Structure 1
Amino acid sequence: MTVRFSRHELPVGPEAQRFAERLNGNLLRGIDRLERSTAVIDSTFGSAVMNVRARCVVDPAAEEVETWEAAVDAMQMGSALFAVTGVTEGSVECRIHRKTRMLPAAGPLPTASAGNWLTSFWLAVICREQQRMTQLCEIPLERLRAPEGQYDEYVYHWVDTLQTYWLRRPGLVEKLTDALRMSDPAVAQVAPPDLLQGLLYPPINLFYHFVTKDEDGFSPALEEALKLHRAYWTLSEDRKADIDGSIALGPLAIACLAYDGKLPIEVESDYLPKHLLEHSWLGEFPT
């Protein structure tokens, strides 16, 4: 039986709609400026991700084509971030928001690290853009390392697990086991416990149920991930109003993998926009 899991209340109505429209307009102007300079491409990517979340506040099921376009734009921006930071001279051809652009090389940036890699990978999964998933997975793990103390070591094991899964490399079980073990709050030292338990660990656990084809356990694990997501984003009044909580990006991406893999998904929620999960708009825009 399908469980309907409610999203916590977020500011909606005309003001939320106007905010989403302003944010999208600012983002598109920022994307156009990238052809002159990629110095702030990381913040432009952050704006693109926020744009998706803002769209999902006003369009929780992602029924409107503008929401799918926002997801595509963010996915393209994530790929562009890692493309331009992987070279130090010349320019890189990147398709972003309906056209192909030549973006100047940016060279290494500290923000082109494991955290933004995970976000970029989730977006590529949600958009079912397999070529971009492959390109991201071919990035050497050492290139994603941030300054010491920014991430717990499990994050790199987690990235390695996802790259191993997608590229069909050996050692998936061992790497996933290490990621699970090292993301334990008793082992991890950098991430605050509420962030670790509420947002960072659940996708790893959910991925375990996916790769083991656990049809009976996947939906309960998905529901638990959403419970933890909601608990994290309702812990304070500031968090309740933060649009970052509008969707559960990591669980959504893994639910997309499960949906495409024909695992039964018996959870419905605005944290998992229906038309993103079911890729209803796939092919609407060249990616």
Structure 2
Amino acid sequence: MVSTIPRHPFPTENTEEGLALLRETAQEEIDALEESSTGLGDAFQTSLILAHSHCLLDPRAAIFPTWDAWVTAMQVGSAVFAAATTTEPHVQCRIAHKDRTLQATGPQWYVNPSTWINALYLAVACREKDRINALCRVPVSLLRENGSRFEEYQYAWVETLQAYWRGDMDLVRKLVAAVDATDPRSVADPETVSKIVYPPMELFHRFIRKDNAGFNQALLNALRWHKEYWSEESRALHATGLVALGPLAMVCIAYDAGMPIEGESDYLPAVLIKRNWCGEFPT
């Protein structure tokens, strides 16, 4: 039985104008990257917001501009780490239908576990195996060199996802460490961790156990918590809440493995899950 979780209310007035402005800003930031690759952090944030924003009027991601925006965000996210890890002075990255020569950046404020996790989720949703593999070669130590402190559950979750894609034998141990690190008593923001960070971990846990019923129950919980979190007044107008990115990535992994998905929501663009747009143009 398929259960549907409706999205929280979000105003649609002036959406097209807002998208046009975001698209222009993202393109300007992307076009400036060959002059200064350190703009990758801002370009990624803008591109990610644009991808989410497209799903306001196109929640299924059924039209080409939405797919185009998601691919661009995925490309910028991957470029962040290609530029940070290259041992050459420059690296070639395809972004927004163009091959671009970016300068090596090394550690930067935006080369952190949060950015990595979002970049990985995007690559999974877009089914970009080569970029997933490249992201899984990024040393976790590099993510600690950005000058800011991040909580240990973030590093542990990065290590878990890398272990899965690399086929490491200690996957379960790393997943247990990531889940344990989300204990509400040990984190700075228990609400965000319990409603946004932890649910993809639980989905992944159910997936690797091949627990179909558990996965689908965890998916419904994740969507309910996502809706509850982003319905809060101070967050309700943030475009980031339009898509449940972490659960979406876990659903894509499960779907590709043949697991039946019994939850539907505007938070989960159905066309992305079903890979309909993959291969539409060179990425």
Q: TM-score band, normalised by the shorter chain? A: over 0.9
1:227-272 Cα deviation digits (max 9, x unpaired): 1111111122x31111110000000000000010110100110000
Conserved in 1, the CA contact under 8 Å of 2:107 and 2:146? Answer: no
Q: Counterpart amino acid of 2:7?
A: R
Per-residue deviation at 1:211? Answer: 0.9
Partner of 1:32: 31
Partner of 1:232: 229
Conserved in 1, the CA contact under 8 Å of 2:37 and 2:103? Answer: yes
Partner of 1:244: 240
Partner of 2:218: 221
1:207 equivalenced with 2:204 (yes/no): yes
TM-score when normalising by structure 1? 0.95
1:12 equivalenced with 2:9 (yes/no): no
Aligned residue pair count? 283
Matches within 5 A, 1:124-143: 124-143=123-142
Matches within 5 A, 1:93-104: 93-104=92-103
Determine helix, strand or coil for the equivalent of 2:280.
coil
Partner of 2:174: 175
Consecutive unaligned residues of structure 1, counting only runs of 5 or more, are none
Q: Counterpart amino acid of 1:108?
A: P
Conserved in 2, the CA contact under 8 Å of 1:93 and 1:100? Answer: yes
Structure 2 Cα separation of the partners of residues 3 and 79 of structure 1: 34
Structure 2 Cα separation of the partners of residues 170 and 183 of structure 1: 22
Q: Counterpart amino acid of 1:142?
A: S
Per-residue deviation at 1:208? Answer: 0.4
TM-score when normalising by structure 2? 0.96
Percent identity reads: 41
Q: Counterpart amino acid of 1:189?
A: V
Per-residue deviation at 1:146? Answer: 5.3
Which contiguous aligned blocks of 4+ residues in structure 1 show a shift greater than 4 angstroms? 146-149
My pick for the range that moved more, 164-173 or 106-115, is 106-115
Partner of 2:269: 273
Conserved in 2, the CA contact under 8 Å of 1:89 and 1:107? Answer: no
Structure 2 Cα separation of the partners of residues 63 and 247 of structure 1: 14
Structure 2 Cα separation of the partners of residues 81 and 177 of structure 1: 28
Consecutive unaligned residues of structure 2, counting only runs of 5 or more, are none
1:59-109 Cα deviation digits (max 9, x unpaired): 111111110011100000011111112247621100001121111222220
Per-residue deviation at 1:150? Answer: 2.9
Matches within 5 A, 1:80-91: 80-87=79-86, 90-91=89-90
Partner of 2:195: 198
